[in-house]
Structure formats: C-alpha cells, structure tokens
Amino acid sequence: MPYKFIDGVVVADITFEASGDTLEELFESSANAVTNAMIDKLERIEAKEERKITLEAETEEKLLHKFLDEILFYKDADNIVFSKYKIKIKEKKAAHGCDERSNFILECIAKGEEIDNAKHTVLTDVKAVSWHMFKFEKGKQWKVQVVLDV
C-alpha cells in the first residue's frame, strides 16, 4: 500500500501522499502513513487487539479525514496503534425531498496493539489531521495529500 512522506510543504510539520487502486486501499495506506509518522517499523505492531470503527460522512474526502482522526483518538484514549485493517466503504443514497444526496459509510476492523516503548520505535506524536493543503483526487487511482500537525 503506497505512501510516502514529502518534504517542504509545511516547514514545521509532516506531510504525506498516499494512493490506492480502490478507496479502501487509499484509506489503509493513509492510516499506515499516520501511524508511521508516529512509530517506525510498522511490521513490529502485532495484531493483538482490535477495534471496530464505523463512520459516516457526506463525501469520501470527509470520511477519510474522520477515519484518520480515529487513528489518533485510539492512540491517546487506549494507547493503541494499528497495523492491519479490514475496511468496507459503502455509498448510501438518501432522498431529501427533490434533492438526492449520498452519504458514505465506513466499516472497519482495525488490529494492533498497545504502544510498547521497548518494542516500538516511537518517532513523534501526531496531534491532529489538518485540512491544510489537504488534496483529495479521484483519477485512475485515488490519491491524497495530508499535512499532520505534530
């Protein structure tokens, strides 16, 4: 699942680009990027515990932003970081009078373990997923650029 950290976008913070052939792949690579900003060597995070994440948003872009916020929530609330994801994203059409709107629903099982300083190399903390220069593109592939507040 490809993602890479890029330099020079925001001097003080961390920026990554991620992509995926499917929306689910994009979400997984983006979540891995967020975790990898905090923890080196994701392969050392074992799938010992799981959390079920269900989210809904008006657009795919907002859904991704919310999903990445969840990664940070569990890092602080439960001290857990994830390395494996099973993600399903569905579009739900809902009629509001004459106006037909879509909502996107994510269901995810995220697997990982508690941060263990003896085992995991902690790099830095991520405070928030910003909207600053957040670029979300749907072309041949799904692509995103995200700036993380650290």
Partner 1 sequence: MESKKPELKKITDYIWEIDPSYKDGMKVPGRIYSSKKLLGQMDTHVYDQLTNVATLPGIIDYAFCMPDGHSGYGFPIGGVAAFDSNDGVISPGGIGFDINCGMRLVRTNLTIHDVKPKIRELVNTLFANIPAGVGGKSKTRFSKDEFKKIIELGSRWCVEKGYGWEEDIERTEMNGSVEYADSAAVSEKAISRGFNQVGTLGSGNHYLEIQHVKEENLVDKELAKKWGLFPDQIVVMFHCGSRGFGHQVATDYLELFLQVMESKYKMKVLDRELACAPFQSKEGQDYFKAMNCAVNMGFANRQLILHGIRQGFAQIFGKSAEELEMHQIYDICHNRASLEKHEVHGKTKELIVHRKGATGAFGPGRIEVPPLYRNDGQPILIGGSMETGSWLLAGTEEAKQTWYTTAHGSGRVMSRAQATRTYRGDQLQRDMEKKRNLHKGCFSERFGRRSRRCI
Binding window for partner 1 (CB under 8 A); candidates: 3-11, 16-24, 25-33, 95-103: 3-11
Written as six digits, the tokens of 70 are 């969840």
Q: Decide: is 46 part of the binding site for partner 1 (CB under 8 A).
A: no
The secondary element (H helix, E strand) that includes residue 35 is helix 23-38
CB atoms within 10 A of CB 25: 17
Written as six digits, the tokens of 105 are 């629903």
Who's near 113: CB < 8 A, 6+ residues apart?
45, 46, 47, 48, 49, 80, 81
Q: Decide: is 130 part of the binding site for partner 1 (CB under 8 A).
A: yes
Least distance to partner 1, CB of residue 127, Å: 5
The rounded distance, in Å, linking the Cα atoms of 148 and 124 is 11
Among 131, 137, 138, 141, binds partner 1 (CB under 8 A): 131
Among 132, 137, 138, 141, binds partner 1 (CB under 8 A): 132
Written as six digits, the tokens of 110 are 């995220």
Residues in contact with partner 1, counted by CB under 8 A, come to a total of 36
What is the pattern of x (binds partner 1, CB under 8 A) and - over residues 56-85? ----------x--x--xx-xxx-x------
Contact present, 134 and 9 (Cβ < 8 Å): no
List of residues contacting partner 1 (CB under 8 A): 5, 7-8, 10-14, 38-39, 66, 69, 72-73, 75-77, 79, 114-115, 117, 122-125, 127-134, 147, 149-150
